[in-house]
Amino acid sequence: MISSATGVPIENILYLGGPNIASEIYNKEYGNARICGAEKWRKPLANFLRQPHFIVWDNSDLVTHEVMGGLKNVYAIGAGMVAALTNESATSKSVYFAHCTSEMIFITHLLTEQPEKLAGPLLADTYVTLLKGRNAWYGQMLAKGELSPDMGDSIKGKGMIQGVSAIGAFYELLSQPSLSVLHPKENKPVAPAELCPILKRLYKILIKRELNPRDILQALRDETMNDPRERIEIGQSHAFYRPSLLGQP
């Protein structure tokens, strides 16, 4: 996505991410990360960044990590909403986690031919972002009524809430008229965004501003919702990959 937007060759782009919170790494709490990109850059930089309390591995799958790096902020906002609205219910948060990770896998398979599995540091990065961070905090504040979407996505003391613009970008990307997938139950072609109910509700709450933050719970309680496994299976079908979305032939 960065390469497509900036024109910078993909071999000159690196992604650094992992299960860590910046303030905690600064305080020398143990963490780890991956640096992804071309081997000539990532390997020496991984060695350079490695510290006793901050282990850095290298990985070649730039696109998967880039996509997941954006999506984790999207779903962290929803996670914050769910946590606040359910009084930190472990059950509700785990149901949300199951559905949001299935949407993340589904979307990643649209953008990457053979994405790395959502496991290890990639999964842990998602987990810690949903657990703690400015996007999850923002979702909590929205649900509590202490912030509103009208206040924008740049919050004093927190900075830019990256997930807000990412919600708009991913939803609109997955709603393009040229894209369609077969709905598993209705047996008719629909836009991929229609199979991502959490993303769709976040879009209506934060971008269109048609719904209240409380409506995020309906995405979890919809009796017609498909098993997350079905969404993942659709995403894993080879025919689902759309390289043109990232400007690739």
Q: Which two tokens stand for residue 112?
A: 């990457």
Buried/exposed code over 230-249 (b: 16+ C-beta within 10 A; e: otherwise) = ebbebbeeeebbbeebbeee
**pLDDT at site 58:** 93
**pLDDT at site 239:** 63
**pLDDT at site 245:** 63
Q: What is the pLDDT of residues 222-246, one digit of tens each?
A: 766 778 888 888 777 756 666 556 6
Question: Distance between CA atoms of 6 and 221, rounded to whole angstroms?
Answer: 40
Cα angle value 77/78/81 (rounded, 5°) = 95
**pLDDT at site 180:** 83
**pLDDT at site 246:** 61
Q: What is the pTM of this model?
A: 0.88
Residue holding tokens 């309390």? Answer: 53
Residue holding tokens 């559905």? Answer: 99
Question: Distance between CA atoms of 60 and 93, rounded to whole angstroms?
Answer: 32
Q: What is the DSSP letter of 75?
A: H
The larger pLDDT score, comparing residue 202 to residue 18, is at 202
**pLDDT at site 238:** 57
Beta-carbon count within 10 A of 85 CB: 20
Which helix or strand (DSSP H or E) is residue 76 part of?
helix 62-85
Strand partners, 181: 190
Which helix or strand (DSSP H or E) is residue 34 part of?
strand 31-36
**pLDDT at site 61:** 87
**pLDDT at site 149:** 93
Q: What is the pLDDT of residues 15-69, one digit of tens each?
A: 998 888 888 989 999 999 999 999 999 999 999 999 999 999 999 988 888 888 8
Q: What is the pLDDT of residues 140-161, one digit of tens each?
A: 999 999 999 999 999 998 999 9
User: Which residue numbers are catalytic?
Assistant: 72
3-state secondary structure of 88: coil
CATH 1.10.1040.10 placement within the chain: 62-244
Kindly give, in sequence order, each residue whose CB lies less than 8 Å from that of residue 187, ignoring residues fewer than 6 positions away. Answer: none
**pLDDT at site 76:** 96
On the question of pLDDT at 1 being above 90, the answer is no
CATH number of 62-244: 1.10.1040.10
Residue 186 vs residues 4, 195, 223, 233: alpha-carbon distances, Å: 34, 11, 15, 16
Residue holding tokens 């997350």? Answer: 228
Residue 142 CB-density burial (10 A; 0-12 exposed, 13-18 middle, 19+ buried):
buried
**pLDDT at site 240:** 66
Q: What is the pLDDT of residues 203-220, one digit of tens each?
A: 999 999 999 999 999 988
On the question of pLDDT at 117 being above 80, the answer is no
What integer best gives the mean pLDDT of the chain? 88
**pLDDT at site 86:** 96
Which helix or strand (DSSP H or E) is residue 58 part of?
strand 54-59
